[in-house]
């Protein structure tokens, strides 16, 4: 019952990335004290494994984080080098008459070592962010300028194709007219006149109807003419 059938070696770190020259912390805790036997850290598995930490023969580069604990075997490896890359196992050994044998081992922590940090520094990240913001602002300004230019060209094209300006223009209902076109349009509004050779030398002017006013001598209900014309000799 004391052999520890429910004994666990907890090694929560699956992967760890570290830069050359930095320190590396590897976490390991055990669930109990039994069975009797040491806890060691090994690099690799099988016959090729190397002992990284052994309480009886500690290394100057590998330190226990909590020296007095019998259940926390977290270690700190200082001055990491490229050769330190590999998979590390926290292993519980059990004493026997034939020496220590493996009782439980953790899931392993894969350590990758880089010569430089794989992540940009804060200064570099800020510079990249500022550059991206400047590019976005310039792109937005160019887009807005293009939209305004297209809007102006559409308004100019609208004047030549029949669109109206926002302010009143005498011939706003259609395309721009020449003075002769305007004169012809005004002439078309005049009442029909008998055609003769004399009409070529006569100018017509359209007079707007006068407001209704009581005129002496006019019977009630008399209709007013809508148009009046003036004849004059052409110069």
Tell me the per-residue pLDDT of 8-23, one tens digit each, with 9 for 90 and over.
Answer: 999 999 999 999 999 9
Domain span at residue 84 reads: 8-114
d(CA 109, CA 87): 5
- CA 167 to the chain's CA centroid: 41
Q: pLDDT confidence of 165, banded at 50, 70, 90?
A: very low
d(CA 172, CA 1): 104
Residue 30 domain-assigned?
Answer: yes
Taking phi over 0 as left and psi of -120 to 50 as alpha, with beta for the rest, 217 belongs to: left
Residue 84 domain-assigned?
Answer: yes
Query: The domain spanning residue 29 has which CATH number?
Result: 2.60.40.10
Structure token digits, residue 198: 């004399």
Q: How many residues does the chain have?
A: 235
Residue 31 domain-assigned?
Answer: yes
Give the pLDDT confidence score for residue 46 in this predicted structure: 84
Question: What stretches of 68-214 show up as alpha helix (H) in DSSP?
Answer: 122-161, 179-188
Residue 175 domain-assigned?
Answer: no
Into how many domains does the chain fold? Answer: 1
Torsions phi, psi of 18, nearest 5? -145, 155
Q: Considering only CA atoms, which of 151, 171, 168 is closest in space to residue 160?
A: 171
Q: Which pTM value belongs to this model?
A: 0.50
The single-letter DSSP state of residue 218 is P
Residue 54 domain-assigned?
Answer: yes
Percent of the chain predicted with pLDDT > 90: 41
Give the pLDDT confidence score for residue 197 in this predicted structure: 52
d(CA 189, CA 206): 8
Give the pLDDT confidence score for residue 108 in this predicted structure: 96
Strands (E), the chain: 9-10, 15-19, 24-26, 29-30, 39-43, 50-53, 62-64, 75-77, 86-94, 101-105, 109-114
Residue 231 domain-assigned?
Answer: no
d(CA 64, CA 77): 9
How far is residue 92 from each of residues 7, 38, 63, measured CA to CA in Å?
Answer: 10, 6, 18
d(CA 152, CA 129): 35
Question: What stretches of the chain show up as alpha helix (H) in DSSP?
Answer: 122-161, 179-188
Give the pLDDT confidence score for residue 97 in this predicted structure: 86
Candidate ranges 9-23, 94-108, 116-130, 218-232; pick with highest mean pLDDT: 9-23
Give the pLDDT confidence score for residue 177 in this predicted structure: 52
Torsions phi, psi of 127, nearest 5? -65, -40
Residue 137 domain-assigned?
Answer: no
Residue 25 domain-assigned?
Answer: yes
Give the pLDDT confidence score for residue 164 in this predicted structure: 47
111: number of Cβ within 10 Å:
20
The torsion of the CA quartet 119, 125, 128, 132, rounded to 10 degrees, works out to 110
The answer to whether the CB of 73 falls within 8 A of the CB of 8 is: no
């Amino acid at each position: 019952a004391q052999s520890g059938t429910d004994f666990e070696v907890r090694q929560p770190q699956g992967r760890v990335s570290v830069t050359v020259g930095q320190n590396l912390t590897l976490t390991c805790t055990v669930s109990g004290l039994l069975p009797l036997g040491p806890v060691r850290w090994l690099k690799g598995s099988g016959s090729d494994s190397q002992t990284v930490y052994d309480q009886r023969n500690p290394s100057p580069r590998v330190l226990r984080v909590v020296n007095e604990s019998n259940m926390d075997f977290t270690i700190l490896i200082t001055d990491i080098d490229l050769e330190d890359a590999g998979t590390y196992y926290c292993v519980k050994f059990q004493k026997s008459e034939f020496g220590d044998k493996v009782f439980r081992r953790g899931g392993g922590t894969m350590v990758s070592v880089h010569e430089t940090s794989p992540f940009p520094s804060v200064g570099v990240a800020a510079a990249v962010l500022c550059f991206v913001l400047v590019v976005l602002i310039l792109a937005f300004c160019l887009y807005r300028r293009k939209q305004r230019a297209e809007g102006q060209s559409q308004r100019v094209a609208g004047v030549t194709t029949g669109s109206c300006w926002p302010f009143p223009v005498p011939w706003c209902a259609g395309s721009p007219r020449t003075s002769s076109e305007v004169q012809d349009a005004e002439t078309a509004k005049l009442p029909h006149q008998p055609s003769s050779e004399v009409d070529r030398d006569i100018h017509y002017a359209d007079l707007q109807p006068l407001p209704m006013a009581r005129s002496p001598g006019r019977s009630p209900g008399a209709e007013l003419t809508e148009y009046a014309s003036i004849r004059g000799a052409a110069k």
